[in-house]
């Protein structure tokens, strides 16, 4: 087949996703190849423009250079937290009540000896999945550590306190932690931790062992954990690399959901937001105004995850398997390198399956249909639960 040579020079070629326009079709094709547009991208609820992050949608709707038509509709009918648009003012009013959260009331957290906690923990983990799921969805556990300082200048991070909460925001583990090397800075202003908390605290190795037990949830096969997760929990948190590092453990990346790394939650320059900012902006309340509380931070991460996961994206893919194959994986994690060299199974671009002339012959909508996401959308976690239920 010969390429359609007669591309009319007068008409512009407009990207169906982000609406950028190109004089030359070739340039649109090149743009599509590196944009990874997909149904999973955050979108303006008014004009349906695709954006890289939720913050770009927010700027498009409310920023100094907002698109005026969209801004007018949003001001009248939009939710400032989740950025949804509603049909009328009443519907928005109803929605807003459920969309904004109150700060969680922080329970009295005692550091219990691990042996005493085990039964309670088991009960809480078992309890943590949503009640009507027949135990099929991966259990969610959110983690947060408070760091104290070690080393000559107190600049070396050590875990001083850790808290794990389940999906119902119940504490499933909490401990003050005694590190292996001496604490030289309690960072009291930030952590609220004093020497008294640490004197009888649990040694880090015991804490780390217990955290692993909770997360593995009886799953013994690391192969299963790295593929479909098996019985292991989905670990949720903000900047989990740091938490896992001070806990001296690692956890499979396919089982972590990190609010500091997830593409839609990043700044427009693709750097992380603070948990404080995300909580204020997407959940509607303040955290960390005094000392940090690991329960409060873990709950924030859990709520953010659930909020973002629940956003529905219309997809044609039928099963999670298809989707896994079709995602054009780049790795959003460490150093934001687009292709993590650790990933030995690099995916080819879906556009590589076509000849250039074939791509040039496609309409902008057809090009968008070929394009795949560069990150794994959290909406698939909700679909996976559904799929597992259907399979049973
Ligand atoms: Zn585009
Ligand atoms: Zn999605
Ligand atoms: Zn718009
Ligand atoms: Zn909302």
What pLDDT does residue 382 have? 81
Q: Which ligand is located closest to the Cα atom of residue 308?
A: 2
Q: Which residues share a beta bridge with 172?
A: none
Q: Which residue has the tokens 């599509």?
A: 32
- CA–centroid distance, 16 to ligand 1, in Å, is 7
- CA–centroid distance, 86 to ligand 1, in Å, is 26
More confident residue, 299 or 390: 299
| 166-175 average pLDDT score | 93
- CA–centroid distance, 311 to ligand 2, in Å, is 7
Q: Is the dihedral of CA 147, 151, 154, 155 positive or negative?
A: negative
Q: Examine the pLDDT at 317 and tell me if it is beyond 90.
A: no
- CA–centroid distance, 83 to ligand 4, in Å, is 6
Q: Find the length of the chain.
A: 392
- CA–centroid distance, 388 to ligand 3, in Å, is 36
- CA–centroid distance, 26 to ligand 1, in Å, is 13
What pLDDT does residue 342 have? 43
- Beta-strand pair 202-203/183-185: unpaired
Q: Which residue has the tokens 């927010």?
A: 58
Burial of 260 (0-12, 13-18, 19+ CB in 10 A): buried
Which residues contact residue 85 at a Cβ distance below 8 angstroms, ignoring those fewer than 6 apart? 45, 46, 73, 74, 77, 78, 79
- CA–centroid distance, 63 to ligand 4, in Å, is 18
Q: Which ligand is located closest to the Cα atom of residue 43?
A: 3
| 373-377 average pLDDT score | 91
What pLDDT does residue 70 have? 97
- CA–centroid distance, 308 to ligand 2, in Å, is 9
- CA–centroid distance, 21 to ligand 1, in Å, is 8
| 50-63 average pLDDT score | 96
Considering the chain, what is the average pLDDT of its residues?
A: 84
What pLDDT does residue 316 have? 59
Q: Which ligand is located closest to the Cα atom of residue 85?
A: 4
What is the band of 115 on the pLDDT scale with cuts at 50, 70, 90?
Answer: very low
Q: What is the pLDDT of residues 214-254, one digit of tens each?
A: 999 988 888 889 888 888 999 999 999 999 999 999 999 99
- CA–centroid distance, 331 to ligand 3, in Å, is 28
**pTM as predicted:** 0.85
Nearest one of 340, 343, 236 to 298, comparing CA atoms: 236
Residue 271 in tokens: 């750097």
Beta strands in 110-170 (DSSP E): 140-150, 156-166
- CA–centroid distance, 75 to ligand 4, in Å, is 13
What pLDDT does residue 119 have? 52
- CA–centroid distance, 84 to ligand 3, in Å, is 12
- CA–centroid distance, 365 to ligand 1, in Å, is 11
What pLDDT does residue 314 have? 73
Q: Which ligand is located closest to the Cα atom of residue 18?
A: 1
What is the band of 344 on the pLDDT scale with cuts at 50, 70, 90?
Answer: very low
The class (CATH top level) of 114-309 is: alpha beta
| 18-29 average pLDDT score | 94
| 107-116 average pLDDT score | 59
Q: What is the pLDDT of residues 192-219, one digit of tens each?
A: 998 899 888 999 999 999 999 999 998 8
- CA–centroid distance, 71 to ligand 3, in Å, is 8
The distance of Cα 360 from the centroid of its chain, to the nearest Å, equals: 35
Q: Which ligand is located closest to the Cα atom of residue 32?
A: 1
Q: Which residues share a beta bridge with 13?
A: 22
Q: Examine the pLDDT at 109 and tell me if it is beyond 80.
A: no
Q: Is the dihedral of CA 222, 228, 230, 231 positive or negative?
A: positive
What is the band of 339 on the pLDDT scale with cuts at 50, 70, 90?
Answer: very low
Distance CA 178, CA 199 (A): 8
Residue 279 in tokens: 């909580």
Q: Which ligand is located closest to the Cα atom of residue 263?
A: 2
Distance CA 345, CA 268 (A): 29
Q: Examine the pLDDT at 307 and tell me if it is beyond 90.
A: yes
Q: Which ligand is located closest to the Cα atom of residue 78?
A: 4
Q: Which ligand is located closest to the Cα atom of residue 309?
A: 2
Q: What is the pLDDT of residues 282-294, one digit of tens each?
A: 999 999 888 889 9
Q: Which helix (H) or strand (E) holds 97?
A: helix 89-99
- CA–centroid distance, 69 to ligand 4, in Å, is 20
- CA–centroid distance, 319 to ligand 2, in Å, is 13
What pLDDT does residue 333 have? 39
- Each domain of the chain, given as residue ranges in start order, spans 114-309
Q: What is the pLDDT of residues 321-331, one digit of tens each?
A: 444 444 444 43
Distances (CA, A) of 295 to 107, 169, 174, 287: 8, 9, 8, 11
Which residues contact residue 356 at a Cβ distance below 8 angstroms, ignoring those fewer than 6 apart? 3, 29
Q: Examine the pLDDT at 259 and tell me if it is beyond 80.
A: yes
- CA–centroid distance, 196 to ligand 4, in Å, is 43
The string of DSSP codes covering 287-345 is: --SSS--HHHHHHHHHHHHHHHHT--------SHHHHHHH------SGGG-SS-TT-SS
Distance CA 350, CA 32 (A): 11
Q: Examine the pLDDT at 3 and tell me if it is beyond 70.
A: no
Nearest one of 175, 162, 163, 168 to 127, comparing CA atoms: 168
């Amino acid at each position: 087949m010969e390429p359609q040579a007669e591309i009319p020079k007068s008409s512009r070629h407009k990207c169906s996703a982000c609406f950028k326009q190109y004089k030359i079709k070739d340039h649109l094709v090149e743009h599509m190849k590196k944009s990874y547009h997909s149904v999973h991208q955050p979108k303006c609820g008014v004009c349906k423009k695709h954006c890289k992050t939720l913050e770009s949608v927010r700027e498009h709707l409310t920023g100094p250079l907002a698109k005026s038509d969209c801004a007018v509709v949003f001001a009248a009918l939009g939710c400032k937290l989740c950025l949804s648009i509603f049909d009328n003012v009443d519907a928005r009013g109803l929605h807003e009540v459920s969309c904004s959260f109150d700060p969680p009331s922080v329970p009295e957290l005692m550091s219990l000896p691990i042996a005493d906690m085990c039964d309670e923990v088991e009960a809480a983990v078992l309890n943590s999945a949503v009640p009507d799921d027949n135990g099929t969805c991966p259990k969610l556990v959110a983690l947060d550590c408070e760091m104290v300082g070690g080393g000559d200048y107190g600049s070396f991070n050590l875990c001083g306190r850790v808290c794990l909460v389940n999906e119902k925001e119940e504490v499933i583990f909490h401990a003050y932690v005694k590190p292996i090397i001496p604490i030289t800075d309690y960072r009291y202003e930030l952590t609220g931790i004093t020497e008294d908390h640490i004197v009888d605290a649990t040694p880090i190795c015991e804490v780390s062992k217990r955290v692993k037990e909770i997360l593995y949830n009886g799953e013994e096969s690391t192969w299963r954990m790295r593929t479909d997760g098996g019985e292991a929990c989905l670990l949720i948190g903000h900047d989990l690399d740091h938490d896992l590092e001070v806990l001296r453990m690692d956890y499979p990346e396919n089982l972590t959901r990190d609010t500091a790394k997830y593409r839609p939650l990043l700044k427009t320059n693709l750097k992380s937001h603070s948990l404080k900012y995300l909580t204020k902006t997407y959940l509607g309340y303040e955290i960390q105004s005094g000392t940090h509380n690991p329960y409060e931070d873990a709950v924030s991460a859990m709520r953010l995850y659930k909020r973002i996961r629940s956003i529905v994206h219309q997809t044609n893919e039928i099963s999670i398997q298809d989707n896994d194959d079709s995602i054009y994986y780049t790795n959003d994690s460490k150093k934001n390198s687009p292709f993590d060299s650790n990933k030995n199974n690099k995916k080819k671009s879906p556009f590589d399956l076509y000849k250039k002339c074939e791509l040039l012959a496609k309409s902008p909508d057809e090009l968008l249909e070929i394009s795949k996401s560069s990150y794994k959308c959290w909406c698939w976690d909700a679909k996976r639960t559904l799929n597992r239920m259907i399979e049973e």
